[in-house]
Amino acid sequence: MTFRQSNYWLDTVMLPAATPGDLPSRVDVAIVGAGFTGLSAARTLAKRGAKVAVLEANTIGWGASSRNGGMVLTGMKLDVETLAARYGMEAAKRMYAASLASIAVVEQIVREEQIACDFSRSGHLEVACKQSHFDAYARPVELIGREFNHQIRVVSRQELRSEIGSDIYFGGMVDDLSAGLNPARYVAGLGRAALAAGAGVFENARVQRIKRTSEGGNSGFILDTSRGRVLAENVFIATSGYTSSATPALQKRIIPIGSFIIATEPLSDALAQELSPRNRMIFDSKHYLYYYRLTPDNRVLFGGRAAFFPETANTIRRSAELLRRGMIEVYPQLRDSKLDYAWGGTLDFCFDTMPHAGQMDGIYYAVGYAGHGVAMATYLGAKIAEQISGGRSDNPYEDIPFPGAPLGLYNGWPWFLPFAGAYYKVLDWVS
Give the three-class secondary structure for 136.
coil
> Which residues constitute the domain of residue 257?
8-419
Contact indicator for 321, 1 with CB cutoff of 8 Å: yes
Which range, of 21-25, 39-43, 119-123, 251-255, averages the lowest pLDDT?
A: 251-255
Which pTM was predicted? 0.95
Does 145 map to a domain? yes
Mean pLDDT confidence for 379-384: 98
**Domain assignment of residue 313, yes or no:** yes
Query: Residue 429 has what pLDDT?
Result: 52
Total domain count, the chain: 1
d(CA 285, CA 115): 32
What's the pLDDT at 307? 58
Q: Is 2 left (phi over 0), alpha (psi -120 to 50) or beta?
A: beta
Query: Does 429 reside within a domain?
Result: no
CB atoms within 10 A of CB 131: 11
Q: Which residues lie closer than 8 Å to 289 by C-beta, 6 or more apart?
A: 283, 304, 305
Q: What is the pLDDT of residue 415?
A: 55
Q: Give the strand pairing for 153-156 and 26-32.
A: unpaired
| Identity of the residue numbered 196 | A
For residues 152 and 141, give the distance between their C-alpha atoms in angstroms, rounded to a whole number.
6
Structural domain contains residue 157: yes
Averaged pLDDT for residues 52-77? 97
Q: In the predicted model, what is the mean pLDDT of residues 383-403?
A: 92
DSSP state at residue 15? P
pLDDT category of residue 422 using cuts at 50, 70 and 90 = very low
Q: Give me the CATH number covering residue 59.
A: 3.50.50.60
- On whether the CB atoms of residues 330 and 166 are closer than 8 A, the answer is yes
Burial class (CB in 10 A: 0-12, 13-18, 19+), 31: buried
Average pLDDT over residues 417-426: 48
- Write the pLDDT tens digit of every residue in 110-132: 999 999 999 999 999 999 999 99
Question: Measured between alpha carbons, how far is residue 204 from residues 23, 183, 208, 309, 416 in Å?
Answer: 11, 21, 12, 24, 31
Give the pLDDT confidence score for residue 426 in this predicted structure: 41
Mean pLDDT value of segment 330-342 = 97
Residue 3 within any structural domain of the chain: no
The answer as to whether 212 is a domain residue is yes
Q: How confident is residue 423, by pLDDT bands cut at 50, 70 and 90?
A: very low
Residue 60 domain-assigned (yes or no): yes
* Domain contains 130: yes
C-beta atoms surrounding 379 within 10 Å:
26
Average pLDDT (54-80) is 96
Judge whether 368 and 254 are in contact, CB under 8 Å. yes
How many CB atoms are closer than 10 A to CB 202? 22
